[in-house]
């Protein structure tokens, strides 16, 4: 008869017109007791009271099914539901079993606007009253059974359908939230990749440009070499940015170490790279490559070092990277200087159940260490 329950969010319900149509298509069945009332040998007062009660019932019922969500949000939802049952009781008592079907309408209306648990009790009460009063007024067993089954069946069906709609609404909302989360995650990935890519590449470009400018007059051949390197780094940076945009960027250790050596030498920092050959999962290799980029970029930008040591070691199940320098970072040991880059590196490592450590060394300089599972998980 009615298709939603009161705890269904408004966005999960059909419009008021649709709900009114679905609820009111059953009202023509009330014509039969009204016709019986018109032709009954009763007093005018009896007839007027019965017709007024039936009319009041229909008006309240239509108001409920037209705007169930509005009624459900008001404190009077329970009062309206009880009033419908009270009218059904009064009419059934007044005219025996002719109006017993009103309990079905009252059960459905209450199930539509009351919270699920309250609605269940409401339907149970309507069912008990329908059966009890019909039997007390001398109705046959078939009538008693039909009004009891109708009240319980329609009422609980309304509750079940309403809860189903509520779950569907929650599922749709969860899908929307997941989509929004995926967009936010992709934005974070893109921002992190751009920071890591451009931070390193722009540092190398800046250093190469400075060297070329200094050597242009005194050593044009050497300056030309740096300009060629600058052109190559620029092209590589453009390619990497395009790959980052497309989401297919997966840096390799070999490329990262080669770029690190080039950048360190351009900054007049001696690079000491120690790496044992090993098979790594692509995810692990990617994070280690990002770590090499971030670590060497910070050495170039913030340390004032003369030397940089990059050690890559592999155990049976873990891969470890350590980047050391002999410079000095003012203030908080370079954590702030690393800032967004170190934060992004920690996020990448945490995604693989790895760990990142960074800070000043006791004997001077700075240390960045990354430990990851070799299988990438």
Q: Which residue has the higher pLDDT, 328 or 156?
A: 156
- Three-class DSSP category at 349: helix
Model confidence pLDDT, tens digit, residues 278-308: 788 888 998 998 899 889 988 888 778 889 9
CATH 3.30.565.10 maps onto the chain at 253-377
Quote the pLDDT of residue 6. 40
User: Among candidates 186, 185, 184, 188, which has minimal Cα distance to 344?
Assistant: 188
pLDDT (0 to 100) of residue 239 = 74
Query: Beta partners for 81?
Result: none
Residue 338: pLDDT band with limits 50, 70, 90: very low
| pTM summary value | 0.46
**What's the rounded mean pLDDT across residues 358-377?**
87
Q: What is the pLDDT of residue 21?
A: 53
Given CATH 3.40.50.300, say whether it is the number of domain 253-377. Answer: no
List pLDDT tens digits, range 193-219. Answer: 676 667 767 777 887 788 888 888 888
Rounded mean pLDDT, 43-72: 84
Q: CA 176 to CA 184: how far, in whole Å?
A: 12
Coil, strand or helix at 312: strand
Residue 16 has pLDDT above 60, yes or no: no
Please return the burial class of 218, using the count of CB atoms within 10 Å of its CB with bins 0-12, 13-18 and 19+: exposed
């Amino acid at each position: 008869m009615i298709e939603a329950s009161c705890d269904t969010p408004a966005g999960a319900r059909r419009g008021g017109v649709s709900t009114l149509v679905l609820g009111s298509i059953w009202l023509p069945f009330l014509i039969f007791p009204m016709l019986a009332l018109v032709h009954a040998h009763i007093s005018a007062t009896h007839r007027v009271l019965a017709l007024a009660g039936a009319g009041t019932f229909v008006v309240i019922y239509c108001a409920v099914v037209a705007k169930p969500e509005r009624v459900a949000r008001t404190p009077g939802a329970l009062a309206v539901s009880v009033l419908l049952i009270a009218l059904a009781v009064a009419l059934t008592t007044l005219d025996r079993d002719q109006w017993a079907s009103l309990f079905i309408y009252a059960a459905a209306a209450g199930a539509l606007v009351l919270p699920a648990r309250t609605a269940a009790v409401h339907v149970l009460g309507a069912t008990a009253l329908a059966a009890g009063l019909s039997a007390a007024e001398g109705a046959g067993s078939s009538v008693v059974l039909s009004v009891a089954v109708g009240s319980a069946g329609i009422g609980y069906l309304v509750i079940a359908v309403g809860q189903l709609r509520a779950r569907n609404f929650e599922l749709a909302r969860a899908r929307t939230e997941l989509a929004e989360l995926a967009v936010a995650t992709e934005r974070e990935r893109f921002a992190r990749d751009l920071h890591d890519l451009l931070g390193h590449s722009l540092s190398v470009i800046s250093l190469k440009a400075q060297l070329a400018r200094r050597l242009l007059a005194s050593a044009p051949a050497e300056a030309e070499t740096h300009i060629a390197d600058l052109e190559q780094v620029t092209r590589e940076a453009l390619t990497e940015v395009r790959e980052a945009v497309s989401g297919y960027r997966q840096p390799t250790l070999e490329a990262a170490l080669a770029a690190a050596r080039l950048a360190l030498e351009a900054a007049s920092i001696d690079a000491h790279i120690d790496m044992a050959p090993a098979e790594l999962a692509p995810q692990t290799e990617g994070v280690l490559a990002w770590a090499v980029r971030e670590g060497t970029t910070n050495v170039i930008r913030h340390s004032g070092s003369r030397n940089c040591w990059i050690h890559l070691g592999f155990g049976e199940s873990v891969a470890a990277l350590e980047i050391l320098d002999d410079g000095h970072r003012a203030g908080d040991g370079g954590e702030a200087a690393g800032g967004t880059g170190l934060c992004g590196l920690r996020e990448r490592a945490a995604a693989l159940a790895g760990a990142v450590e960074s800070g000043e060394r006791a004997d001077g300089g700075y240390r960045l260490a990354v430990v990851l599972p070799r299988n990438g998980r």
